[in-house]
Amino acid sequence: MLELLRPKRGGFLRPFGCGWFIREFLSGNGPIGSPSIDPGQGAPQAEIFYHYKTSLLGAIALDRATRQEERVAKREKRRISPENIERLTERHLAQIPYKSTSCRYHSFVVYFSNLQRLGWVEFTGKEEPSAFQDNYPAGYPRKYFRLTAAGSAASDADWANPLFALYGGS
């Protein structure tokens, strides 16, 4: 019997997972076009979140552009043009609202706190001041986090569902 690989309800919501992105980003690999960082120094949560969101938007725009170019090329009976895909990707990227992709900052902070409880990420001790605007008091300091040895050793399945790794399944 052939069983399709897809969720029963909804659909595949993201091209890549948040946990995978955090692990790759803090490892210094610069996943999906994000900048490479020094793994020993780490990065603040807000910066990790920003690069996750922009990478997610870029992947969604590329997927939409590729599907659109495939449809048009099939209809016009021509080859797929990488130049058209690049042009369409830029157009889609400009049209996708930043908040339209699923993850919000609060959800990210909660997810990240679970990673801290598991001991997969740790505070490096480095902080830098943050300021909102000139008229407001100084905000909370930006704390830098790095990947731990336990985080590097954790399986992909655990990174995909840290709550299951934290509390176990029953």
Task: Please give the share of the chain, as a percent, with pLDDT higher than 70.
Answer: 88
The mean pLDDT of 52-64, rounded to a whole number, is 90
Closest CA to 122 of 144, 153, 152: 144
End-to-end CA distance of the chain: 29
Please give the distance of CA 103 from its chain centroid, rounded to a whole number: 9
Closest CA to 44 of 105, 99, 118: 105
Backbone angles phi, psi at 114, to 5 degrees: -65, -35
The mean pLDDT of 12-21, rounded to a whole number, is 78
SS3 109: helix
Please give the distance of CA 56 from its chain centroid, rounded to a whole number: 6
Query: Could you report the per-residue pLDDT of 24-50, keeping only the tens digit for each?
Result: 999 999 888 899 999 999 999 999 999
Given a contact cutoff of 8 angstroms between Cβ atoms, the answer to whether 43 and 145 are in contact is yes
pLDDT at 98 over 90: no
* pLDDT for residue 104: 85
SS3 37: coil
Please give the distance of CA 137 from its chain centroid, rounded to a whole number: 30
